[in-house]
A and B are shown apart, each in its own frame.
Chain A
Amino acid sequence: MVPALLVMHADLSAALLRAAAQVYGEVQGVATMSNEGLSKEALEAEIEDRVEGWREGGLVFTDFFGGSCHLCGLRAAREHGDIVVVSGLNLPILLDYLHNRDKFGVRELAERLQKKGQDSIRLQFPSAA
């Protein structure tokens, strides 16, 4: 199973996991944390604590590209093997991760999730029909 850590602003990680559990059922093996109140060094150290035990890599999900969660995720994962940092996490990505974390390797899963996330954003124009 590909392990995962969610690092996002405020309470988003815990809230997103709770929302996922309402659709998926009970979730195990996913860690969550917030960047709130943490310096760059402290955030990096907290992320590193959670990923250094991953023997065969894993996924660090963050909320947006260029934020402290994303940048410190990259810094923390730098020397810990096959970790992919996935920015822009949304609920469809998290659900697809939960359904497929046993079926793919880290990189293959990350690429699948990127496509799933991009495809999950759709525009529809109900009044134009």
Chain B
Amino acid sequence: MTAWQHSLQTKLTVSFIVLILVVSGLTFVFTYGESKTALKETTQDELRGLASVIATQIDGDAMATLRPGDEETPEFLAIRNQLDTIRLSNPDILYLYTMRQVGDTVEFIVDADYGTDDGAAIGDVYDAVNSPLLAGFVAPSVDSEFVTDQWGTILSGFAPVRDSSGAVVGLVGVDMDSNRVIQRQDFVGSTIFIVIGIAVLIAGGLIALFSRTIIRDIRTLNATANAISTGNTNVSVDVERKDEIGELADSFGRMAASLKIMMDSDPEAK
């Protein structure tokens, strides 16, 4: 009996499982990477579109007049309440605010969170300025990667806010919590992983079964050959297959039958 580690069944099964794991691993890496990118791009498109729509709803004329200390004015409260209502109606939005450029700095105008610990007041300077934010004063834009600032790790979309004359008076920023996007990416990754895992298990089972039937028939042929080699010609080849092993068994059966006939000393016996 061949030791299990030298068995053809072990070698076949291990080889195929390694092959499947390599192929499925590469498929997973490629599919997950592509899905992750596609999901981020979809989220970016959503954010860009959302910021554009919100920007058109904000009263640019009123926003342009707001200065530090105007937090209790009806204009400020109207815009803040409007932003708060929009944010509440869309659970994907973490923060919603407007900003303007003052010289080289960017400062908050209206923050939907004003009045809470996280909220910014008019004129509060935003320190983590990046190029997508600056581009948002010109046209709708979105962060290319997650940005970490004092409010957490987020993905932001920006769109310019215009007054009644069409002049840009600031921008609206829409922040989405990175956890939401990462959760979606993880869900896609887990789903792909589970599907590939199930496929590997099924394929592994089928390969083990397939190699087992091959090895069983090879062992039968081997047992028959062993019997004949020790002088026992009273054997038959009990292998029924339509493949190459079946052909081998047929050839072997002919050989065994011939030997049996030739070795039979009594010409009248059969």
A binds B: no
- Using CB atoms and an 8 Å cutoff, list the residues of chain B in contact with chain A: none
